[in-house]
Amino acid sequence: MSILSDCKYAIMTQENPLRNIQEPPAPRSAVQALQDVAHGALDFAELEQHHLSADRVLDFSTNTNPYGAAPGVRAALLSTPVDRYPDREALMLRRALAQHLGVASENILAGNGSAELIWLAALTYLDAGQTALVIGPTFGEYARAAALMGARVDEWQAEPENGFAVDAAAIQVQLSRQTYRLVFLCNPNNPTGQTLPLERLAEWAQTHSETMFVVDEAYIAFCSGMPSAIDARLPNLLVLRSMTKDYALTGLRLGYAVGDARVIAALRKTRPPWNVNAMAQTAGVAALQDAQYMKDNLISLQESYQALTVALRQRGYTVIPSAVHFFLMQVGDGARFRAALRPKGVLVRNCASFDLPDYVRIAARRSEENQRLLAAIDEVFV
């Protein structure tokens, strides 16, 4: 009998203690305690369950540029080899970004979406037992990434009574009470559309040199004229950007981090190899080449946001004013509102996961698409 068949025999026999193992090894404790985070965007299992097709549904639950990627992106993708590993360092992309942002390429790390960079920031800077501060209500991945590292997470929450404004004085007090290793702040914020002046942020970073401030600027392009934390050039300010959103590279997903070269070098150590695929790198370079397309898109989107919010207010809804093209709207029961619109082929974001169950988040789309949302609301609720 060969060794292999001996083993097979041993595994199959009754006496073999291996047969009695029922349970796999337990994941580490931080993973066991980890909560799933709800997100917007299409849920394909849900679509299947409700006999909806992804191509026919209008998705107002994701805050991306609804005009789609620049025409040059598709052409560039066609000539991207898929049978070759991508550039691990994303050199061409980082050079193009460096030129676009006016920084050196050593100040940039590309990521498989900015979500990966949120995780890398936590992986790089948080030890178990340290404390992170999240300025909420906000994107759920900050708290999740911190919790995965075994860190304690404090959350400061903006209040609906103040239109979800970020109270800089209250956060200042919070920062003075405790030494935070990491602070996550989304500016402009998802889902509230509120912004925090750069001066406040820079002030905090300057007075708390022991803290890494991670400023997620995934939506800054949608807020015309807003100054970026990149310009503060502080060593403890790390800025994250998402090309998934403004450049509409949504199916490819692409993000980048901008910061002090030493911070970028540290993040680079913790990223998986070949983290940004070849298609995303090519698409990123091509997208950056068409600045006019983006400019035109953003102007149209601002107009379509204005018109949509006016139309919703005319229908009696409370819309929270926002600095970007997505906004919170008070509807009573967000889950019910979303479910009622679903059969009409329009999806909005139920905000229960932000602890705002009576709100939905809506991202303005092209004017004609907004009309479909309004028509659906009229049919279902009026």
Ligand X SMILES: Cc1ncc(COP(=O)(O)O)c(C=O)c1O
Contacting positions for ligand X (CB under 6 A): 113-115, 139, 186, 190, 216, 218, 242, 244, 253, 255
Q: Which is nearer to ligand X, 325 or 376 (CB)?
A: 325
Residues 6+ apart with CB under 8 A from 111: 117, 120, 240, 254, 255, 256, 257, 271, 275, 276
Phi, psi of 135 (to 5 degrees): -90, 110
Q: Please list the residues that pair with 134 across neighbouring strands.
A: 155, 184
Least separation in angstroms between CB 188 and ligand X:
9
Helices and strands (H and E) in the chain: how many: 14, 13
Count how many residues are written for the chain: 382
Give the residue at shortest CB distance from ligand X. Answer: 113
Least separation in angstroms between CB 255 and ligand X:
4
Q: Which is nearer to ligand X, 134 or 376 (CB)?
A: 134
Least separation in angstroms between CB 171 and ligand X:
18
Least separation in angstroms between CB 19 and ligand X:
44
Angle between helices 261-270 and 114-125 (to 10 degrees): 100
Q: How far is CA 341 from the centre of its chain?
A: 24
Q: Which is nearer to ligand X, 242 or 322 (CB)?
A: 242
Query: Residue 11, Cβ neighbours under 10 Å: how many?
Result: 10
Least separation in angstroms between CB 130 and ligand X:
22
CB-based contact 246:217 (threshold 8 Å)? no
Q: Which is nearer to ligand X, 113 or 136 (CB)?
A: 113
Least separation in angstroms between CB 138 and ligand X:
7
Q: Which is nearer to ligand X, 308 or 363 (CB)?
A: 363
Tokens of residue 9, six digits = 């025999």
Q: Say which amino acid occupies 19.
A: R
CB-based contact 158:166 (threshold 8 Å)? yes
Q: Which is nearer to ligand X, 241 or 342 (CB)?
A: 241
First vs last Cα of the chain: how many Å apart? Answer: 78
Task: Please state, in angstroms and rounded to a whole number, the distance separating the CA atoms of residues 317 and 337.
Answer: 12
Least separation in angstroms between CB 199 and ligand X:
22
Q: Which is nearer to ligand X, 76 or 135 (CB)?
A: 135
Q: Are strands 237-242 and 255-258 parallel, antiparallel or unpaired?
A: antiparallel
Least separation in angstroms between CB 61 and ligand X:
10
Q: How far is CA 182 from the centre of its chain?
A: 18
Q: Which is nearer to ligand X, 190 or 211 (CB)?
A: 190
